[in-house]
Amino acid sequence: MASSARTVEEIFKDYTARRTSILRALTLDRENLCLYGHPNESWEVSLPAEEVPAELPEPALGINFARDGMNRKDWLSLVAVHSDSWLISLAFYLAARLNRNERKRLFTMMNDLPTVFEVVTERKPVKDKPSIESESKSQGSTKVKSNPKIADADYEDNEDEHGETLCGSCGGNYNADEFWIGCDVCERWFHGKCVKTTPAKAESIKQYKCPSCSLRSGRH
């Protein structure tokens, strides 16, 4: 179980190899104790390490106990969730000496891969998009917003309530690589290029109004 991986690339390679081995294991029918994925993409089921504490974080023990009383798909999903938890804890155990930027880069690389749970359940990963509600709540303590709502990939995803975020001008889908801005009046989102607004220009706007809302305001 020992691993000498220390750089971001080495830890990521270790993570992907162990992940691959676990995915292979979950396609077979075995009596499970602890499910281990190894850096050479092999896997095994065995008793946990005897050392206390163990040299490396250990996977969940006794995942076979609930097996007989569960639907096979539900059981595989449970094992997958525990396996994801173990893979992430092991990766960040190895990343203990990395700096903040290196840890962030490692997590981004890991997060670009579907989780074991997503693969086993055939669930498609959902891309982050701006959440109008989360932005409104964060500024709900004041009636006047001090800054325009700028779309950011870090905002909390709210897929169930908002569905696809579309540009109020061209109707295009949200893309985290493009600059977006939200109207403080109608709360619709727009490509910066569609409303001729840049990130630098947006910084100086106290309350952003889209062209349609600006036109309506001018008529009153």
- What CATH number corresponds to the domain at position 196? 3.30.40.10
- 45 lies in the same domain as 144: no
Domains contained in the chain, number: 2
- 45 lies in the same domain as 104: yes
- 136 lies in the same domain as 105: no
- 15 lies in the same domain as 64: yes
- 170 lies in the same domain as 138: yes
Question: Which residue, of 120, 150, 179, is where some domain finishes?
Answer: 120
Residue 3 lies in a domain: no
d(CA 131, CA 141): 18
Instruction: Please say if the pLDDT value at position 161 is more than 50.
Output: no
Question: Which residue, of 60, 94, 120, is where some domain finishes?
Answer: 120
The chain-wide mean pLDDT, for the chain, equals 70
- 17 lies in the same domain as 115: yes
- What is the pTM assigned to this prediction? 0.42
Question: Which residue, of 120, 150, 172, is where some domain finishes?
Answer: 120
- 67 lies in the same domain as 165: no
- 207 lies in the same domain as 163: yes
Residue 127 lies in a domain: no
- Mean pLDDT for the stretch of residues 32-45: 65
Residue 125 lies in a domain: no
d(CA 129, CA 2): 39
- What is the extent of the structural domain holding 69? 8-120
- 104 lies in the same domain as 40: yes
- pLDDT recorded at residue 67: 58
Nearest to residue 217, comparing CAs of 182, 186, 171? 186
- 95 lies in the same domain as 184: no
pLDDT > 70: percent of the chain: 56
User: Of 21-25, 36-40, 135-139, 190-194, where does the model show the most confidence?
Assistant: 190-194
Residue 101 to residues 46, 92, 148, Cα–Cα distance (Å): 36, 13, 28
Residue 103 lies in a domain: yes
- pLDDT recorded at residue 66: 54
- pLDDT recorded at residue 134: 45
Give me the amino acid identity at 204.
Answer: S
Residue 1 lies in a domain: no
pLDDT digits (tens, 9 = 90+) for 177-204: 788 888 888 888 888 888 888 888 888 8
User: Pairing between strand 180-182 and 34-37?
Assistant: unpaired
Instruction: Please say if the pLDDT value at position 81 is more than 80.
Output: yes
- 141 lies in the same domain as 211: yes
Which of residues 140 and 7 earns the better pLDDT score?
Answer: 7
- 90 lies in the same domain as 153: no
- pLDDT recorded at residue 147: 41
Give the strands of the sheet with 180-182, arranged side by side.
149-150, 180-182, 189-191
d(CA 75, CA 69): 9
DSSP conformation class of 173: B
